[in-house]
Amino acid sequence: METRELTCIMCPLGCSLRVTKDGDKITVTGNNCQRGVVFANEELTCPKRIVTSSVKTEKGVKSCKTTVAVPKSMIFDVMKEIEKLRLKDAKFGEVVIKNVLNTGADIVITAND
Ligand code: SF4
């Protein structure tokens, strides 16, 4: 049996979760809603994160992010795909990579200039 303390990052409340894994059974306490259970299960099986980075353009560097969280194990590879980009320009909200590495996440520009 394994017990972990996690902070749920699904909303600003940031509930402190106690997650117990006993074989295939995962028990979660401390959550104020069901999303905390979903988060805890995902953290123990396939943790995911939004990736934020920047893209090089001829007019300078523009910030970007994934539209949805990608598996933590793929973050470095996603960053490498973003680093390969050399764009003329990019506008706020523009998708510069669609479905990066088949993760289901697009890379979108977040700079507003
Ligand atoms: S468990 Fe629910 S209420 Fe608590 S931080 Fe997660 S999403 Fe928010």
Provide the percentage of residues in the chain whose pLDDT is more than 70.
99
Q: Choose one of 5, 8, 38 to mutate for the ligand 1 pocket test, by most ligand atoms within 8 angstroms of C-beta.
A: 8
Query: How far apart are the C-alpha atoms of 53 and 22, rounded to whole Å?
Result: 37
Does residue 17 register a pLDDT over 90? yes
Q: Which of 48, 49, 6, 45 is nearest to 29 (CA)?
A: 6
Residue 74 confidence (pLDDT): 97
Residues 38 and 59 in one domain: no
Residues 74 and 56 in one domain: yes
Residues 63 and 78 in one domain: yes
Extract the runs of DSSP E, i.e. beta strands, from the chain.
Answer: 2-7, 16-22, 25-29, 48-49, 52-57, 60-66, 70-71, 86-87, 95-97, 107-109
Residue 67 confidence (pLDDT): 97
- Whose tokens are 């959550």? That residue is 31
CATH number, domain of 93, equals 3.10.530.10
Q: 29 CB under 6 A from ligand 1?
A: no
Residues 76 and 32 in one domain: no
Q: 8 CB under 6 A from ligand 1?
A: yes
- Whose tokens are 């933590």? That residue is 72
Residues 59 and 36 in one domain: no
Residues 58 and 38 in one domain: no
Residues 73 and 28 in one domain: no
Q: 32 CB under 6 A from ligand 1?
A: yes
Residues 57 and 97 in one domain: yes
Residue span of the structural domain in which 97 resides? 52-109
Residues 7 and 41 in one domain: yes
Residues 34 and 64 in one domain: no
- Residue 92 pLDDT level (bands cut at 50, 70, 90): very high
Threshold 0.85, pTM exceeds: no
pLDDT in tens, 20-31: 999 889 999 999
- Whose tokens are 């470095």? That residue is 76
Helix (H) or strand (E) holding 75: helix 75-84
Give the sign of the dihedral formed by CA 67, CA 110, CA 79, CA 41: negative
- Taking the centre of ligand 1 as the mean of its atom positions, its distance from the CA of residue 40, in whole angstroms, is 11
Residues 96 and 76 in one domain: yes
Q: 40 CB under 6 A from ligand 1?
A: no
The structural domain count of the chain equals 2
- Residue 96 pLDDT level (bands cut at 50, 70, 90): very high
Q: 15 CB under 6 A from ligand 1?
A: yes
